[in-house]
Amino acid sequence: MIRGKIVGIGAYAPKRILTNHDLERMVATSDEWIVQRSGIRQRHVIEEGETTSDLAVRAAQQALERANLTPDDVDFIVVGTTTADMQFPSTANFVQGKLGCRRIGSVDVWAACTGSIYGLAVGSQFVQTGKYRRVLVIGAEALSRITDWTDRSTCVLLADAAGAVVLEACEDGRGVIDADLYSDARHWELLYMPGGGAQYPASHETVDQRMHFAKMRGNELFKVAVRMFVECASTLLERHGLKVSDIDLFVPHQANLRIIEAAAKRLDMPMDRVFVNVDRYGNTGAASVYVALEEAVAAGRVRAGDLILLAAFGGGVTWGAALLRW
Ligand code: ACO
């Protein structure tokens, strides 16, 4: 059976770091509140003039280098993002050009923070069917660009980064085994950005009403997130006849340490098998799972043959999980 194996992984975070103490000077918050409620201590924020596709390209270049491949070797590009460079063309389209790839297909996947898992599912399907040999899957965000820096309930959480993996067709049992994707629009008002689309096109009014910023009902989203994490991970494991104890490493979306701990507890997954780096990156949306997986690999937490569980949730609400053999 053909699977998409990760033959290279890369990550990139902008140089500029914003600490909780920096935020204390911007909104009515405290380092203590942010650490206690979210586990976040600092986050990276994009520079002026930089954009989502720039971060994506840096992560992709690292992934390709590590795979000993060049942009010419890529057959298709998928970018998961909530903060596309423009309404159109797609960010993936810009990545194709900036990386210097051939005239290959490229597409953005819009599933908020679950864009990481959605992107991986889309990319690995193309490999599994034999359509493409190598697919570049990227999660990239400049969430600071849709952050209301006067809203303390969101500005302490959202951040910028990119992560990328090169999936290559292989038949040695390694690679993406399966991925489950979900959405439930009954909860769309828990996290959304109303302005700039077809419903509320940009106008003086949308700007005055701060409609071009992310709006969130954090406390409600928190509860939904924990439930969805647990549900989708359990369903995926069950279908493959696996137990939580079979998983060598769980790499969840890094939104909030308390969400991760609550989900791990309900899954009966010990925290020493859960990778966490939300403290240093904040919530980087569709990039977070890849940024965390890259760090886990670099830290020697992943060995060939390990069984890895990825899971994410985000606005929509959307959620999903993926299982892969490293
Ligand atoms: N500093 C200080 N106080 C704050 C801050 C802040 N930054 N933000 C909110 N508060 C206040 C609130 O106003 C509230 O005050 P009140 O009791 O006087 O009304 C109090 O703190 C408690 O607020 P809650 O929202 O109940 O706090 P909670 O414990 O739920 O933590 C948090 C808030 C961190 C947002 C949490 O709910 C969370 O992480 N939710 C999930 C968010 C998330 O993951 N979003 C991303 C989804 S992924 C994607 O698609 C981008």
Mean pLDDT, each 10-residue run in order, the chain (326 residues): 97 98 98 98 97 98 98 98 97 98 98 98 98 98 98 98 98 97 97 97 98 97 94 97 98 98 97 98 98 98 97 97 98
Q: In this structure, are residues 138 and 85 in contact, taking their beta carbons and an 8 Å threshold?
A: no
- Which ligand 1 atom is the nearest neighbour of the CA of 259? 39
The pLDDT, as a whole number, for residue 305 is: 97
The pLDDT, as a whole number, for residue 283 is: 98
Residue 282 alpha carbon to ligand 1 centre in Å: 14
Whole-number Cα distances in Å, 287 to 13, 29, 68, 142, 203: 10, 26, 22, 10, 30
Instruction: Check residue 187 and report its DSSP letter.
Output: G
Residue 184 sits in the same domain as residue 296: yes
Q: Which domain holds residue 73?
A: 3-172
- Which ligand 1 atom is the nearest neighbour of the CA of 253? 48
Domain boundary among 126, 155, 172: 172
How crowded is the C-beta side of 8, counted as CA atoms within 13 Å? 24
Residue 158 sits in the same domain as residue 190: no
Domain boundary among 156, 172, 188: 172
Whole-number Cα distances in Å, 30 to 20, 154, 160, 253, 282: 7, 14, 21, 24, 15
Residue 142 sits in the same domain as residue 187: no
The one-letter amino acid code at 192 reads Y
| Residue 42 CB contacts under 8 Å (≥ 6 apart), including other chains | 17, 18, 19, 20, 279, 280, 282
Q: What is the dihedral of CA 121, 125, 244, 185, to 10 degrees?
A: 40
Nearest protein Cα to ligand 1, atom 47: 314
Q: Ligand 1 pocket check: which of 21, 153, 184, 216 to mutate, most ligand atoms within 8 Å of Cβ?
A: 153
Residue 189 sits in the same domain as residue 163: no
H-helix segments, the chain: 20-24, 31-38, 52-66, 91-99, 115-128, 152-155, 204-208, 218-239, 257-267, 278-281, 288-298
Residue 17 alpha carbon to ligand 1 centre in Å: 21
Whole-number Cα distances in Å, 174 to 127, 142, 145, 191, 195: 13, 32, 37, 35, 43
Q: How far is it, in rounded angstroms, from Cα 232 to Cα 303?
A: 25
Q: How far is it, in rounded angstroms, from Cα 223 to Cα 221?
A: 5
The pLDDT, as a whole number, for residue 30 is: 98
Strands 76-80 and 134-142: what pairing? parallel
Helix (H), strand (E) at residue 9: strand 3-12
- Which ligand 1 atom is the nearest neighbour of the CA of 154? 35
Q: Which residues line ligand 1 (CB under 6 A)?
A: 29, 33-34, 37-38, 112-113, 152-153, 156, 191, 216, 218-219, 221-222, 225, 255-256, 283, 285, 314-315
Nearest protein Cα to ligand 1, atom 28: 219
Taking each helix axis from N to C terminus, what angle separates 115-128 and 288-298, rounded to the nearest 10 degrees? 70
Residue 4 alpha carbon to ligand 1 centre in Å: 38
Among residues 117, 170, 169, which one has the least CA distance to residue 139?
117
Nearest protein Cα to ligand 1, atom 13: 153
Q: How far is it, in rounded angstroms, from Cα 299 to Cα 30?
A: 31
The pLDDT, as a whole number, for residue 314 is: 97
Domain boundary among 150, 172, 194: 172
Backbone phi and psi for residue 177, each to the nearest 5 degrees, phi listed first: -85, -45
Q: Would you please indicate which residues are annotated as catalytic (active-site) residues?
A: 113, 253, 283
The pLDDT, as a whole number, for residue 273 is: 98
Residue 218 alpha carbon to ligand 1 centre in Å: 5
Residue 153 sits in the same domain as residue 247: no
Residue 103 sits in the same domain as residue 80: yes
**Tokens, residue 255:** 């939104």
Residue 143 alpha carbon to ligand 1 centre in Å: 17
Q: How many CB atoms lie within 10 A of CB 21?
A: 12
Q: Domain count for the chain, please give it.
A: 2
Residue 93 alpha carbon to ligand 1 centre in Å: 35
Residue 199 sits in the same domain as residue 168: no
The pLDDT, as a whole number, for residue 122 is: 98
Residue 168 sits in the same domain as residue 32: yes
Residue 157 sits in the same domain as residue 185: no
Location of structure tokens 């909530």: 82
Q: Ligand 1 pocket check: which of 219, 288, 313 to mutate, most ligand atoms within 8 Å of Cβ?
A: 219
Residue 149 sits in the same domain as residue 212: no
Q: How far is it, in rounded angstroms, from Cα 46 to Cα 27?
A: 19
Residue 217 alpha carbon to ligand 1 centre in Å: 8
Q: In this structure, are residues 116 and 122 in contact, taking their beta carbons and an 8 Å threshold?
A: no
Q: Ligand 1 pocket check: which of 27, 192, 222, 318 to mutate, most ligand atoms within 8 Å of Cβ?
A: 222
- Which ligand 1 atom is the nearest neighbour of the CA of 285? 51
Q: How many CB atoms lie within 10 A of CB 285?
A: 34
Q: Can you state the percent helix, strand and coil of the chain, rounding each to 5? A: 40, 25, 35
Residue 47 sits in the same domain as residue 148: yes
Residue 163 sits in the same domain as residue 263: no
Q: How far is it, in rounded angstroms, from Cα 57 to Cα 273?
A: 30
- Which ligand 1 atom is the nearest neighbour of the CA of 316? 50
Residue 95 sits in a domain whose CATH number is: 3.40.47.10
